[in-house]
Amino acid sequence: MLSKKMEKALNEQINAELYSSYLYLAMSAHFADQNLEGFANWMRIQAQEELAHAMKFFDHIIERDGQAKLAAIKGPESTFKAPLEIFQAAFEHEKYISGRINDLVTLAIKENDHASNNFLQWFVGEQVEEEATANGIVQQLKLIGKDAAATFHLDIELAKRIFTPPV
Give the residue, chosen from 31, 66, 120, 130, that forms a contact with ligand FEO under the rule CB under 6 A.
130
For ligand FEO, which residue of 2, 10, 14, 17 counts as binding (CB under 6 A)?
17
53 binds ligand FEO per the rule CB under 6 A: yes
Pick between residue 60 and residue 151 the one whose CB is nearest to ligand FEO.
60
Nearer to ligand FEO (CB atom), residue 59 or residue 147: 59
- 94 near ligand FEO, judged by CB under 6 A: yes
Which of 10, 11, 27, 50 lies at the binding interface for ligand FEO (CB under 6 A)? Answer: 50
Instruction: Tell me the C-alpha distance between 165 and 69, whole Å.
Output: 23
Among residues 39, 44, 28, 40, the alpha carbon closest in space to that of 138 is found at 39
Task: Give one DSSP letter per residue of 86-115, joined into a string.
Answer: HHHHHHHHHHHHHHHHHHHHHHHHHTT-HH
Closest distance to ligand FEO from the beta carbon of 144 (Å): 23
Angle at 97 between CA 62 and CA 6, to 5 degrees: 35
Residue 55 contacts residue 49 (beta carbons within 8 Å): no
Binding interface with ligand FEO (CB under 6 A): 17, 20, 50, 53, 94, 97, 130
